[in-house]
Structure 1
Amino acid sequence: MASRFSRAGFVGKLFIILTRLALAFALGVVALAFAYRYVTPTSTLMLAREIEGEPVQRLYVPLAQISPNLRAAVIASEDALFCRHHGVDWGALREVIDDADADGPSRGASTITMQTAKNLFLWPWRSAIRKAIEIPLALLIDFVWPKRRVLEIYLNIAEWGDGIFGAEAAAQRYFQKSADRLDLRQAALLASALPNPRLRDPARPSRQLSRRAATIIARTRSTDTACVN
């Protein structure tokens, strides 16, 4: 009997500890979300690379110093309804949820805001738990930040190759120019590389990458980017 009570007491204490940790994490994330509206952030992936001893290259620039071509190409490629939704594209999420495996919905269900939330606060590998946390974080970010800030941070923390983070570092690495001087094809090639940036080289694109870039260029003509111009 005593053993049963002691076991129940241990489970109760463990539950309280885990609840407090979860609450502390939530409060910390909320505080950071408000702070990151004004403060330059660092992504969890960048921190992981640095902890592992890998070189990290990033040159943070404001959105005004990133070519409108890249803004349009990334929105057309990653999240065509970025200017219309409030952090989560519920229609896209519903379309993939029935086909999702145990790891949760695919990248196709992730908005730019959701990817920003993941890159800033969560871990890179897919899981249903991560997706469940990612959604409310995206809603919070969209509520706290203007759309221009969301895209600015996303473009400054996205990985574009081994240790290459952000549009400015990527533009200099692949095209030897600053991010504000990217033409539409170069922007589309960078956007095409995002789903698998460590294996795709925008400077030496494969046929598949070039075709993907051409598709993105065509999509930019009908993509709403008014919220970030």
Structure 2
Amino acid sequence: MVRLLKILAKIVLWFVGLSLAFVLIFKFVPPPVTATMVMNGDGITKDWESLSNIDRNLVSAVVAAEDGKFCTHDGFDVEAIEKAIERNARGGRIRGGSTISQQTAKNVFLWQGGGYVRKGFEAWFTFLIEKIWGKRRIMEVYLNVAETGIGTYGAEAGSQRYFGHSASRLSKSEASRMAAALPLPQKRSVTNPTGFTRRYGNMIAARMGVVRRDGLEACVYD
């Protein structure tokens, strides 16, 4: 038993050390590839861009769509998580309450799909990037690794694919449509949205004004 505990302690120490090392490295270096990119099997099209070269409209759009409390939480939106648990307890399609920070931690360091084990690792990496990266870097990485289409990752590659121009000049309408498709980028159309995706995009576009007015993305630019 003592030997087993020593082995487990070494594994934990190695994991903590390695995870800290990768988080520190990726604070300054773009993640070269992620598990999601490799496991999808659809090829990889990506083009890293600094946040200063990504239009602010997209930042406002993803905050409006994904995480209105991005600038005020410490990585976890407790209220959203509790609501997700209540909805899931009623049955139907499983929904999460993940913040942009949690999604970034998952996209960079882990794999897609549910499960308590992955959620536990996700919480650990979310804590680390909140403490070590800060909000601006989290947003920058999120907008560069999020899947924006089949085999397409990041704002720049998505903007070039759908609109034929750089992410540095996304219009309000373009940004809201990209944000509306983010939860299901392989199924939702960005260029010709219909039905729910179109309505959701319009709702995001309307919320973007509130995000700007109330400074809900101000921490990204402080």
Q: What TM-score bracket applies, with the shorter chain setting the length?
A: 0.7 to 0.9
* In structure 1, C-alpha distance between the alignment counterparts of 2:6 and 2:36, rounded to whole Å: 30
Q: Show structure 1 runs of 5+ residues with no match.
A: 1-8
- List gaps (5 residues or longer) in structure 2: none
Provide the alpha-carbon RMSD of the alignment.
2.0
Does the residue aligned with 2:210 lie in a helix, a strand or coil? coil
Say whether 1:31 aligns with 2:11.
no
Of the two, which has the highest radius of gyration?
1
Letter in 2 for 1:109: G
Structure 1 residue 134 corresponds to structure 2 residue 122: yes
Q: Is the deviation greater in 135-144 or in 68-77? A: 135-144
The CA distance in 2 between the partners of 1:148 and 1:107, in whole Å, is 26
Q: 1:48 aligns with which of 33, 39, 51?
A: 39
Distance 1:202 1:163, change over 3 A: same
Distance 1:115 1:144, change over 3 A: same
* 1:67-100 deviation per Cα after TM superposition (whole angstroms, max 9, x unaligned): 1110100111010100111111122223323444
Aligned-partner SS, 1:160: strand
1:60 maps to 48
Tell me the distance in 1 between the aligned counterparts of 2:65 and 2:200. Answer: 9
Percentage identity across paired residues of the two chains: 39
- What is the distance in 1 between the residues matched to 2:6 and 2:79? 37
Equivalents in 2 of 1:74, 1:24: separation in Å?
A: 35
Provide Cα deviations, 1:112-135, integer angstroms capped at 9, x if missing partner.
000000011111011122112212
Specify which of 174, 198, 211 is matched with residue 210 of structure 1: 198
Cα distance in 1 for residues equivalent to 2:38 and 2:188: 22
1:94 aligned to 66, 75, 82, which one?
82
**Residues of 2 paired with 1:80 and 1:169: CA distance?**
25
Task: Work out the number of aligned pairs and report it.
Answer: 213
